[in-house]
Chain A
Amino acid sequence: MLKALQNRFKHSIYLEKSNILSLKEEEIFEAVKLAFDEGGTLLLDITIIDYLDFISPQKERFALIYNIRHKTFKQNLLLKCFLSEAKAQSVSSIYKAANWLERECYDQYGIVFEHHPNLKRILNHWQFEGFPLRKDYAITKGQLCTQSVNLMPEMNERLLEKGLITKDKEGNYSKCEKDLMFINIGPSHPATHGTIRNFCAMDGETVIANVSEIGYLHRGFEKSCENHTYNQIIPYTDRLDYCSATTNNVAFAKTVEEMLGLTLPPRAVAIRVLVMELSRIINHLVCLAAQLVDMGALTNYWYLYNPRETAYDFFSKLTGARLTNSYMRIGGMSYDLYEGYEDDLKIIMKEIEEGVSISLGMIEHNRIFHDRTQNVCPVSASEAINLGLSGPNLRAAGVQYDLRSAKPYYLYNDLDFDVIVGSVGDIYDRIMVRFEEINQSLRIMKQLLGNIPDGDICVNDASVVLPSKENVYGSIEGTMNHFKLIYEGVKVPEQEYYSCIEATNGELGFFIVADGSGRPHKVKVRAPSFGAMSAYTQMVEGSMLADAVLNLGSINIIAGEMDR
């Protein structure tokens, strides 16, 4: 993919460390097209960098970044171009995933994408004025929303697309021949698993068209990041995918560590893998339990939630918090494992195994369960990739994409586990993939238990890790070191860098622009739930109301991560 692009665009500049290919503004659309033809089928992210007040002067104020992953999933490539004006061409005709991603760029930076089917705000509310992620927008300037948005125009466009209504010259829509009922599923509906508004056009109980409105949980994560030091951001990452907080901690810390060129001590790596797999299990348990309740299978909820409770006890013992762990630090982690953790973990793993097996026993051969889930809201492999799905949702469609095996990081190369794939991509597959992934995560944890090496839990680098308390209180260097690290933060050399891990819901990546100071110039999260939610509309149209509710659970939308 890279070679083909370099051959085609001779003047392009490739930055090895950042994995960024810089192109001219007029070439970028063609380059994205070529990248797609050369096998770059998964569009991970589109974002903008605002270089206003950047430490080193740049050609233009805005730069546009495309992040594209190759179909072998082993490599990704970032395409970058500077924008002379605040506008670009939409790639939503190539990637369906681009639709929402471009809307986000417009929303946050005010970049207009030409030929975009529906360019309007997505994370910020419709009454918002200005573009919050621009550097000249003050972080303190919050804006209130006084009225909910009217989704009817968007719904009319959707119905027009489906040929159910027509539009005359004055722009008036005709009445639909079917007697449609418009209904809001959410933002406060028992089945929205967070705060999401799905506006559906119903024909009886069949969802004819759907329009989703997100952003109810938008709290300006990325803007906050630009105003905090790297270590201060870690508690914010907890709130992304709050069902598996440590995974987000690791994803962020790992990106920054790679930017700093740090290698973690083996013990730290092993602990990270261990807690990540445990949080993966917890997240899957939450997803499965909530989803089975949506189906009316109440009992499974407690069978799956009780072991999670024990796991949370472990987390609160280890990190001091049940949900928002903030366990990781740049260059290591906050605490070492406590004495006797192995026994606790063994009990937890036994409980999880038992919970999973009895819960599976209740549904595995249940005809009602099969009828409710099999061939319901299916999405084919190629569609799923184009829609930007990742993680269990993509694997359920039969795509063998797991960063842990495709591009192994940490210990995953030496650990023995299977990548679980489905075949149809329906709700049944998504449930079963998650059930089996719990077992695989248990398998990984079993291999790690008893094999965690001794040693430090943080890198031995005074410019990254806080000195010990004895040092802080006992020596002037220690005090100074502590003071500087707290006040100025870990200084990351100027660069643009993307790194990712396989989080519970898919590829969780951080794209960070560092300017050499202790605070990032820009942070962009590639959030798996965002892609999943943008695919939701296509998945549910044509199915029943009951299926739409189930499907929302099955793609495991975590609003904290989607809305940021």
Chain B
Amino acid sequence: METAYLIETVIKIVTILLVFSALAGIGTYFERKVLAFMQRRLGPMNVGPYGIAQVAADGIKLFTKEDIVPTNVVGPIFKIAPVITAATAFMAAAAIPFLPSFEIGGYVVNPIVSDINVGILYVLAVMAVGFYGPLLGGMASANKYALLSAARGAAVFISYEVITGLSLLAPLMMVGSFSLIDLNNFQIEGYWMVVYQPVAMVLFLIAGFAETGRTPFHLVANDHEIIDGFGTEYSGMRWGLFFIGEYANMFFYAFLISILFFGGFGDGSVLGAFALLGKVSFFFFFFLWTRAAWPDVRPDQLMWLCWKVLMPLAVINIVITGFVMMF
């Protein structure tokens, strides 16, 4: 039993790593295509049919590029920073149920590495650790733009952690569990969580944009203002790791929103599994859609939004939920 469990877990971990590393690459392809179609152009077209092999070309380029460590950087920190981003992104995946459990030859597989009872808390905590990547990378780079980016990152991420936490508190109060599977199952009997907690859903979504650094909150690596921010001095695969981390985070956020607020995989049927993938795809698309549609806000406006609008809303939401539950 112990050996089987171990093998199963290792297989799961490797699968998640492979699938989401690949998804990050394919995600860039979809991003470029979706943006291109919204912007009335073609996007990648030259490598393979419809440019589908562009991902491979980019990957080869990243792997074979010279790994440059500039003279004045703080070497060890500079080198470890991208690893933190990528590693924590994947670590967070451990508590996410990607699909309902299914049977292979009488053996029940739960497509979740570990259904720990503090699942959601764990996911948020590990994701929060991921922000050390940009922060340390920016500070170690010996580049003023990278430093500005690190400062922006520290302010934005910490502020929006608060929103993420507070917005989730209300749904968690209703369910009474931190496990993502419990959260999923709660929605089988009643309606989707978004019906009970629309405000929390909106807040969580906005915070998701801030924490993944996507437009309209694309501030930490805003190329028009601070070049590539913390990534300015990075090249090759180190930069690539930041990139994989960002895209993996986008996917995990899409999973979280789908599971927490939009019914997850429902009762666990095949239909439910496909529904979950559909929802995830939609939210991933939503990230791209926003990028095509909106300009970026200014850092101080983002802070204003966080502390003066979203946080009070989140608190009010918790209080109201509490009262409704009491009476």
Contact = CB atoms under 8 A, between A and B. Distances in A.
Interface of A: 181, 183, 189-191, 202, 204-205, 292-299, 301-303, 306, 362-363, 366, 368-369, 371-372, 544-547, 549
B227 interface: yes
B88 to A, nearest CB: 26
Contacts of A183: 144-145, 148
Contacts of B47: none
Contacts of A297: 294-295
B225 A181 contact: no
B297 to A, nearest CB: 5
B294 A296 contact: yes
Interface of B: 35, 38-41, 144-145, 147-148, 151-152, 215-216, 218, 222-227, 291-301
Q: Chain B interface mostly helix, strand, loop or mixed?
A: helix
Nearest to A355: B40
A545 B296 CA distance: 14
Nearest to B144: A183
Contacts of A292: 295
Counting from the closest, the 9 A-B pairs by CB-CB distance are: A296-B296, A297-B295, A295-B295, A302-B39, A294-B224, A296-B295, A546-B298, A183-B144, A299-B292
Contacts of B293: 299, 362
11 contacts: A181-B147, A205-B299, A295-B296, A299-B35, A299-B38, A301-B39, A303-B40, A372-B296, A544-B299, A546-B225, A546-B299
B232 to A, nearest CB: 11
Contacts of B35: 298-299
B216 A296 contact: yes
Given A302-B39, A306-B40, A371 B297 contact: yes
Contacts of B215: 296
A302 B301 CA distance: 27
Contact of B226 (A296, A363, A366, A545): A545
B292 A298 contact: yes
Contacts of B152: 205
A190 B228 CA distance: 10
A414 to B, nearest CB: 38
Nearest to A363: B295
Given A368-B295, A547-B298, 12 more contacts: A183-B144, A183-B145, A293-B224, A296-B218, A296-B222, A306-B40, A366-B295, A369-B295, A371-B301, A372-B296, A545-B226, A546-B225
Nearest to B299: A205
A372 B299 contact: no
A295 B224 contact: yes
Nearest to A547: B298
Contacts of A302: 39-41
Given A296-B218, A299-B292, A371-B298, A205 B40 contact: no
